[in-house]
Amino acid sequence: MYNNQARALTVQKHQLRQATVQLGEIQSNITSINQDIENSTAELDNLFNQLKKIEQNNVQFVCEEDELTFIEVSTYQEYQPKYSVLNELQSIDMADNWEAYLSNIENYAHTHQIQFDENTFNNLLTDTERLQFEKWVKDEFSIKGANCDKYDYMLAGTCGLIGGLIDIFLVGAPGQGYLTKFADDLTDQAVKKFAKLNGWTVKEGKEESVNKAIGFLEKKFAINYDHRHSADVGNQFKMTTKNHHIKSLGHSPDLLGLFFSILNQFTNTASFVDQGKIITIDTTEYSTTGTSFELKGNTVPAKIFSGFCNWLGHLFSDAAGSSGARGGTGRGSGIPIPFYSMLQFCKFGEFGKDKQTFATIAVRVFQEGYDFRHGIALAIPVLVTELLTRLIWVVKRRFFHKEDWKNCIPSANNPELRRMLLIAHGTLCVCDAVDAGIRSGTNPIVFLTHTNFIAWIRLGTIALKEIPSWFAEGSIDHAAANQYLDSEYKRLLTTI
């Protein structure tokens, strides 16, 4: 198949060369004709000038009738064609099918003595064209390494240091830092606004307390998997009001939580994690509402949408803690950071004096207030580091390297920017680890409560892109090449 395509392309290229030669001859003839026209025009102008002078000088020519003019025959010259005659180009007749077209290709090749071999595809390009093609592929589709100078590393490190200082002095442990308190207040306001959007009203003169908003949402978006302690699940495993949000998979604000929430609502079950295993209980036997639970809607899509609304609304009711806990002076137990619940499956190691697994340590860290609200505070130094690094890269590229604005778009696909982000977030994580180590000593729980989970996740995502590029530098980026080919195919289809 590919050999036949190569033969067709070879013949088409031969036709292109022949047409190019013909065009060159046509252009040469046109140039000669234009030159002859200019010369003839100049001679005519000269003759007109001579006639004007004759008229001005009143010169008269008198010829006798019997005067004979003798002209030698040698002064006459036979006309010789000045312009080359163009040969007619041979075309290839179109056919109704591919086989007939290939037959026409073979006939054309035989007539013009075109030879085919195993390297027909390679022979389509000249040496110059092949070098140009290889250079284009290298420039456009090869994985490039970062070409950072010392200033790039210094600026990236500075951005990471700024983020690290914000993390150390403004975030701190859950419920203690300025940014954590700011995130708590922000969450409270979001919960009250969400409650108002769903019909919560406050009597005139009454305070808009967050615990009342939470209580309203708990009733409006009641779900069947909101078990609070061990007694609610028949003492099948240990659970308290401080950790039931992390143990219940439906309380996780991510795709994992959405899946288990809708599954539990459809099947009247509740899914929990304990000792690295998923435990499922029947909520008709262990009910938290006192009544049987049923999703609203008459069709499956309607029930799924109802389940999604219940999941989202219940997350808002738990994001700022329970209504009972917030009714007092406590901070309450919020919902976990997205995908933090999956750490309960990391049942390995022996940490601390009690020799507990990492999964148990993760649950105890959550009980210390390491929840979604604290995650918002943790994201702030990460966001500052990210934006500062990208801004510095844009400014340096535009005003120091004098690049056009279109070349200053801070895309993470740029190797220099990606390297700077790795250095910046690496510096932030180093500051975070040093601070956590100094504050904790040998206590793993204190260490993790002072660790910026978001920063380490961001560093990991950048490292997954940057480290492989170090080893793959200079090789072909197949994803970029396939993307280019797909765009070319689409462009060709639109032109047919």
Express each pLDDT in 70-107 by its tens digit. 445 555 566 667 777 777 777 887 788 888 888 888 88
- 278 three-state secondary structure: strand
Tens of pLDDT, residues 24-66: 888 888 888 898 899 889 989 888 888 888 888 877 766 555 5
Contact partners, residue 244, CB within 8 Å, separation at least 6 = 227, 228, 229, 251, 333
d(CA 51, CA 69): 22
Identity at 450, one-letter amino acid code: H
Written as one string, the DSSP assignment of 162-199 is: HHHHHIIIII-STTTSHHHHHHHHHHHHHHHHHHHHTT
Predicted pLDDT of residue 406? 86
Judge whether 311 and 223 are in contact, CB under 8 Å: yes
Q: Largest Cα–Cα distance in the chain? A: 146
Tens of pLDDT, residues 161-202: 999 999 999 998 898 889 999 999 999 999 999 999 999 988
Written as one string, the DSSP assignment of 105-167 is: HHHHHHHTT----TTHHHHTS-HHHHHHHHHHHHHHHBPPPP---HHHHHHHHHHHHHHHHHI
Predicted pLDDT of residue 157? 97
Between 35-39, 184-188, 246-250, 356-360, the lowest mean confidence (pLDDT) is in 35-39
What is the pTM for the complete model shown? Answer: 0.72
| H/E segment holding residue 485 | helix 478-495
Query: With pLDDT > 70 as the criterion, what percentage of the chain qualifies?
Result: 92
Predicted pLDDT of residue 324? 63
Terminus-to-terminus CA distance in the chain, angstroms?
A: 22
Q: Give the residue carrying structure tokens 């392309």.
A: 9
Question: How many other C-beta atoms lie within 10 A of the C-beta of residue 463?
Answer: 13
- 271 three-state secondary structure: strand
For the chain, what is the mean pLDDT?
A: 87
The band of 110, judged by pLDDT with boundaries at 50, 70 and 90, is: confident
